[in-house]
Amino acid sequence: MVSPANAIARLLQPRSVAIIGASADPTKTTGRPVAYLQKHGYAGQILPVNPRAERIGDLPCYADIASLPVVPDVGIVLLAADRAHLAVRELAARGAAAAIVLASGYSETGEAGARRQRELHEAAGAMRILGPNTIGLVNLTDRIVLSASGALEMDHFPVGSIGVVSQSGGILGSLLSRAAARGIGLSKLISTSNEVDLELADFIDHLADDDATKVIALYVETVRNPQKFRAAALKAALAGKPVVAFKIGRSEAGAAAAVSHTGAMAGADRMYDALFRQTGVIRAQTFSDLLDIPVALATGRRLRGNRVAILTSTGGAGTLVSDDLGLHGFETPAPDHTTAQALRALQTGSEAVLDRNPIDVTLAGLRPDLLRGAIKALLASPSYDALTIIVGSSGLAQPELMAGAIQDCLPLTDKPVLAYVSPHAPEVGALLTQRGVPAFAAAESCTAALGAMLASSRFVGPDDVQGAGPVVTVDDFMPGSLDEARAKQLFARFGIACARERIVTTVTGAQAAAAELAGSNSGRVVLKILSSEITHKSDVGGVAVGLTAETVGARLEQMAVQVEARAGVQPKQFLVQEMIGGGTELILGMHRDPLGTAILLGMGGITAELFKDTTMRLLPAQGGLSRAEALSMATDLKTWPLLDGYRGRPKADVEALVDAIVAFSRMAAQLGEGLVEAEINPVIVLPQGQGVRAVDGVVVLA
């Protein structure tokens, strides 16, 4: 039996390819694979199989798989879904490494299709399958095209170092042709589509080892096996090969919420954000980013900071670029004194303005020597981390000269050099890109590329090693929805500090509890109904803050009436709780999803949902989150400054918050499937040295 890696290698670099159901008519889809293999220079053996043809072009055609003169490495199966599995079985019997199944009509069509897909998998035995419903693969490195994509009608494709794995066949053709038109060189493109067997992660893993591939671009519909994906993406990161992913389904509604708010906020798409972030995968926000970012990363140049020099010979376009960079946290400082002097020494025209950025050298667009001098000065400047060159209409006069001048300067540093082509001039952009200067037709693309380069240089690797913490016994907790007091007892068991409280049933009980608790803190208490059915107490008038031993009794009677009127049940039990003042309210929750278990942190307690200021991390395979990861969650929040002493506010006890996040994550890890839902909303973070307190809790146990 072939080992898996070996089978993928044979699939991508077959010495022989059988095409089952090949047609002699190259205009038919079934005629394309043979035609494209030949057209694009395949050097191996092409073996068409079709009982109704003697020859296909100059190739002998075989009646069936059994009569093939050699065992093909790969079989491209062009038969429809009702017969594809028969060919797959025969290919497997002959010992082929893999079959590429193009037919549709499988799991994408419903239950009957899914059954057919299982039959197909069974028929393959140990042989690997790409597809079904795939358009195949294109190995540009080795001039091997195993695909029916109409994009292969193009005669020439630039060969480069970007590997593409797409879960859509149509997108493979789209990226192939768009890249070619822009002078972007690709290495391998694979469409995995239905993924009955080989999937995204298999090819990420393979491309991480592929010498010809430096950057991996993914078009993702769904990650079927998160653990495998994680391992493969981290392998690529370790190999120094950035992975860039465009994921569709961004508009999907949040996962259906049950009791907690966390579910609603932890939408499926946010889970992908967390998965990508923790594996160093750069997320392409738009489809065009999926080429724009890889082409910049494939230069291998490193962005070490956020200061960008913009060299322009045309005012407006430079401003367009600097404006968009500014919106996304980049700086465009004016040249320092030495750099300005070097630029001034080059100057021959009086129009040039050199004390600002964009740096406007009007004549340089026409004079390669001036351009070269200006680029050298800017790349040498310690004030800049990257250079964006604006190509204006004047630059179109002699594109070769201009591209050559820029290219000459590239070896001087490894700072990124990008081009923004202002007029519509795709051929100039392609020329620059091929010379190692990624060229873009939109200012937003320059920003996206630079942003990704910065992110890629900052990923330090996974943070997976941490203890699970001591094992906590929870046998005394009953399954089902816990009431607030019980939920907090569970949190406390895992080491989370909770507000002190007493359960009461009567006015006198409440008064006694208030007198006892008010002594400790703000002098005030909070009164709440206690029920495992009513989880959102405020909604029914079941929370009153700022009470004292004197006021709590009357308030309890009033609350009992109000809650009964609104919720239809008479509250039997109440909580009297110390009132936690002077802190910041956060939500800390857990969400389970096919991608994994996520911990969510959000600012604002109940208003978190409104402000959408939340961040998530997936739990590692074992144990909870590390302190570093927990801290990064806090600093990730848009409103992190509120915890960090914004405008004279006292700094919050971030250490204690980190402790709480780690403890909460360990609880989620230890209880596993036993913990259906868990949320602390709010957890109140007090000023430095005073800790945090969980004041409300929701828990559902299995």
- Residue numbers of the site for ligand ADP (CB under 6 A)? 499, 526, 528, 536-538, 543, 545, 577, 579-580, 585, 605-606, 681-682, 695-696
Binding of Mg ion by 531 (CB under 5 A): no
In the bound state with ligand ADP, the residue whose beta carbon lies nearer, of 113 and 682, is 682
Window of 153-161, 344-352, 410-418, 680-688 that interacts with Mg ion by CB under 5 A: 680-688
Assigned token pair, 497: 């500090």
Residue 545 interacts with, from ligand ADP, Mg ion, none (CB under 5-8 Å by kind) = ligand ADP
In the bound state with ligand ADP, the residue whose beta carbon lies nearer, of 130 and 526, is 526
Smallest distance from the beta carbon of 619 to ligand ADP, in angstroms? 25
Site string for Mg ion, 631-670 (x = CB under 5 A): ----------------------------------------
Window of 303-311, 347-355, 574-582, 679-687 that interacts with Mg ion by CB under 5 A: 679-687
Binding of Mg ion by 535 (CB under 5 A): no
In the bound state with Mg ion, the residue whose beta carbon lies nearer, of 185 and 542, is 542
Smallest distance from the beta carbon of 524 to ligand ADP, in angstroms? 8
Which DSSP category does 242 fall into?
A: -
Assigned token pair, 14: 């077959």
Distance separating alpha carbons of residues 409 and 379, to the nearest angstrom: 8
In the bound state with Mg ion, the residue whose beta carbon lies nearer, of 50 and 681, is 681
On whether the CB atoms of residues 313 and 324 are closer than 8 A, the answer is: no
On whether the CB atoms of residues 98 and 74 are closer than 8 A, the answer is: yes
In the bound state with ligand ADP, the residue whose beta carbon lies nearer, of 368 and 605, is 605
What is the CB neighbour count within 10 angstroms for residue 538?
12
Closest CA to 542 of 511, 580, 573, 584: 573
Distance separating alpha carbons of residues 451 and 284, to the nearest angstrom: 11
In the bound state with Mg ion, the residue whose beta carbon lies nearer, of 35 and 544, is 544
Smallest distance from the beta carbon of 227 to ligand ADP, in angstroms? 35
Smallest distance from the beta carbon of 253 to ligand ADP, in angstroms? 23
Residue 85 interacts with, from Mg ion, ligand ADP, none (CB under 5-8 Å by kind) = none
Closest CA to 681 of 702, 699, 659, 658: 699
In the bound state with Mg ion, the residue whose beta carbon lies nearer, of 609 and 696, is 696
Smallest distance from the beta carbon of 493 to ligand ADP, in angstroms? 19
Binding of Mg ion by 681 (CB under 5 A): yes
Smallest distance from the beta carbon of 256 to ligand ADP, in angstroms? 20
Residue 121 interacts with, from Mg ion, ligand ADP, none (CB under 5-8 Å by kind) = none
In the bound state with ligand ADP, the residue whose beta carbon lies nearer, of 395 and 682, is 682
Smallest distance from the beta carbon of 641 to ligand ADP, in angstroms? 21
In the bound state with ligand ADP, the residue whose beta carbon lies nearer, of 328 and 572, is 572
Instruction: Please count the residues of this chain forming the interface with Mg ion, following the rule CB under 5 A.
Output: 2
CB neighbour class for 541 (10 Å; exposed up to 12, middle 13-18, buried from 19): middle
> In this chain, which of 696, 699, 700, 701 binds Mg ion, going by CB under 5 A?
696
What is the CB neighbour count within 10 angstroms for residue 288?
17
Angle (deg, nearest 10), helices 368-380 and 337-346: 170
Residue 537 interacts with, from Mg ion, ligand ADP, none (CB under 5-8 Å by kind) = ligand ADP
The kind and range of the H/E element at 628 are: helix 627-636
Residue 506 interacts with, from ligand ADP, Mg ion, none (CB under 5-8 Å by kind) = none
Binding of Mg ion by 199 (CB under 5 A): no
Closest CA to 160 of 128, 187, 134: 187
The residues facing 191 across adjacent strands are 166
In the bound state with ligand ADP, the residue whose beta carbon lies nearer, of 240 and 581, is 581
Task: State how far Cα 590 lies from the chain centre.
Answer: 20
Distance separating alpha carbons of residues 403 and 400, to the nearest angstrom: 5
Smallest distance from the beta carbon of 257 to ligand ADP, in angstroms? 14
Residue 536 interacts with, from ligand ADP, Mg ion, none (CB under 5-8 Å by kind) = ligand ADP
The residue written with tokens 């879960």 in the block is 167
Coil, strand or helix: which one is 658?
helix
On whether the CB atoms of residues 226 and 275 are closer than 8 A, the answer is: yes
In the bound state with ligand ADP, the residue whose beta carbon lies nearer, of 364 and 567, is 567
Smallest distance from the beta carbon of 571 to ligand ADP, in angstroms? 13
Smallest distance from the beta carbon of 476 to ligand ADP, in angstroms? 24
Window of 182-190, 217-225, 341-349, 678-686 that interacts with Mg ion by CB under 5 A: 678-686
Coil, strand or helix: which one is 569?
coil
Residue 376 interacts with, from Mg ion, ligand ADP, none (CB under 5-8 Å by kind) = none
Smallest distance from the beta carbon of 316 to ligand ADP, in angstroms? 50
On whether the CB atoms of residues 349 and 363 are closer than 8 A, the answer is: yes
Residue 410 interacts with, from Mg ion, ligand ADP, none (CB under 5-8 Å by kind) = none
Task: Using alpha carbons, list the distances in angstroms from residue 218 to 190, 203, 281, 490.
Answer: 10, 10, 10, 42
Assigned token pair, 349: 């025209």
Q: Distance between terminal CA atoms of the chain? A: 43
Closest CA to 20 of 70, 69, 74, 58: 74
Assigned token pair, 212: 């010809």
In the bound state with Mg ion, the residue whose beta carbon lies nearer, of 451 and 604, is 604
Smallest distance from the beta carbon of 661 to ligand ADP, in angstroms? 18
The residues, ordered by sequence, that sit 6+ positions from 629 with a Cβ below 8 Å of its Cβ are 278, 463, 617
Closest CA to 498 of 290, 693, 273: 693
- Alpha-carbon dihedral of residues 601, 604, 610, 615, nearest 10 degrees? -20
Which DSSP category does 650 fall into?
A: P
Catalogue the E-assigned strands of 110-220. Answer: 128-130, 136-139, 144-147, 159-166, 186-191, 215-220
Coil, strand or helix: which one is 543?
strand
Residue 12 interacts with, from Mg ion, ligand ADP, none (CB under 5-8 Å by kind) = none
On whether the CB atoms of residues 152 and 26 are closer than 8 A, the answer is: no
Smallest distance from the beta carbon of 606 to Mg ion, in angstroms? 6
Task: State how far Cα 42 lies from the chain centre.
Answer: 35
In the bound state with ligand ADP, the residue whose beta carbon lies nearer, of 374 and 586, is 586
Residue 538 interacts with, from ligand ADP, Mg ion, none (CB under 5-8 Å by kind) = ligand ADP
Smallest distance from the beta carbon of 527 to Mg ion, in angstroms? 14
Smallest distance from the beta carbon of 585 to Mg ion, in angstroms? 9
In the bound state with Mg ion, the residue whose beta carbon lies nearer, of 244 and 608, is 608
The residues, ordered by sequence, that sit 6+ positions from 664 with a Cβ below 8 Å of its Cβ are 491, 494, 496, 588, 590, 599, 624, 678, 680
Minimal CB distance residue for Mg ion:
696
Window of 98-106, 263-271, 590-598, 677-685 that interacts with Mg ion by CB under 5 A: 677-685
In the bound state with ligand ADP, the residue whose beta carbon lies nearer, of 210 and 483, is 483
Closest CA to 172 of 211, 202, 130, 205: 130
In the bound state with ligand ADP, the residue whose beta carbon lies nearer, of 189 and 265, is 265
Closest CA to 68 of 51, 86, 43, 85: 51
| Binding-site ranges for Mg ion (CB under 5 A) | 681, 696
